[in-house]
Amino acid sequence: MDNRAIGVFDSGLGGLTAVRELRRLLPNENIVYFGDTGRVPYGSRGKEVIARYAHQDIRFLQSHDVKMIVCACGTVSSVLGKELSEEAALPSTGVLLPAAQAACARSTNGRIGIIGTAATIRSGALARAIRSIRPEARIFGNACPLLVPIAEAGLAKSDNVIAREAVAMYLEPLKKEGIDTLILGCTHFPLFYDLINEYFDYQVELVDSGREVARHVQAFLTTHDLLCDPAQQSQCKFYVSDDVEGFVPTAELFLGDTIGHRVSRVEVDTL
């Protein structure tokens, strides 16, 4: 048993979709969340800058005595890979492997699509993870740089023509390839769940990387006897690197719950 919190970080708000799933699966666990809202987005940046920012994010969570670090950012998970666990010096996971495993298990025809940020697709890490499990898989990736700002602008709705057109623009090449499974390789993308399902006429399995990482965390903590005392009253604390006021309304959209006064602003770029 371990009553310490689970540490979760993301470039901004997207990781809150993973927090939502964690709270659903593990309602008693304490969670410390850091969203680097002062430097979001990561996915359009180069590898060195992403790695530097991620190291600072990890150091921040380490300073909170967490029992596990969850990188709920598709971009960092892709770019850092194994470095993530070496850096964390704690049990840790990115969203990459859990999503790859789920996609490989669910695909029937072995034609798997991946959408993510430019950095995620460029890294090729998710494709390598899939091939390590199903070497015969055919993988089709597409970078979707506009989906993050569209989600953060609160426009990821079925009746919004910009969101619909962006989804169509990015998914058309994958539809043509006949994929039967699509990995939402960025934790912002669950906000497009309905739009993507509608685009594919509900014929494609969607793998939500935030949901899969939450399942992985549940399994890991259970196996290693690291779950908290079930009688514990759970606490969630949120930290961001930009204004708190700008964070709360959009964050609640991603978290699917109220946040209240549990948010503090911190500076991490000097860590």
Active site residue 236: no
Residue 11 CB, nearest approach to a copy of itself (Å): 12
By the 8 A CB rule, do 68 and 217 touch?
yes
Report phi then psi at 96, rounded to 5: -65, -60
Place of tokens 């150091």: 59
Contact 126, 100 (CB under 8 A): yes
144 is catalytic: no
Which of 242, 253, 256, 262: binder of a copy of itself (CB under 8 A)?
242
Q: Output 108 or 270, the one with its CB closest to a copy of itself.
A: 270
Site for a copy of itself contains 233 (CB under 8 A): no
- How far apart, in whole angstroms, are the C-alpha atoms of residue 6 and residue 24? 14
Output helix, strand, coil percentages for the chain, rounded to the nearest 5: 45, 15, 40
Q: Per the residue annotation, which of 104, 144, 186, 236 is the catalytic one?
A: 186
Of 71, 73, 104, 228, catalytic:
73
Q: Minimum distance from CB of 20 to a copy of itself (Å)?
A: 23
90 binds a copy of itself (CB under 8 A): no
Q: What is the closest distance, in whole angstroms, from the C-beta atom of residue 46 to a copy of itself in the complex?
A: 3
Say whether residue 266 binds a copy of itself (CB under 8 A). no
Q: Binding string, 29-48, against a copy of itself, x = CB under 8 A?
A: --------xxx----xxxxx
When binding is defined by CB under 8 A, the residue of 24, 49, 89, 194 that contacts a copy of itself is 49
Locus of tokens 């169509």: 168
User: Angle at CA 16, nearest 5°, toward 13 and 17?
Assistant: 115
Within 13 Å, how many C-alpha atoms sit on residue 257's CB side?
14
- Residues 201 and 129: their CA atoms lie apart, in Å, by 28
Using CB under 8 A, which residues numbered 115 to 174 contact a copy of itself? 145-146, 148-150, 152-153, 155, 161-162, 165-166, 169
The angle subtended at Cα 247 by Cα 14 and Cα 25, nearest 5°, is 45
Interaction site with a copy of itself (CB under 8 A): 37-39, 44-49, 145-146, 148-150, 152-153, 155, 161-162, 165-166, 169, 241-243, 245-246, 269-270
Active-site residue list: 73, 186
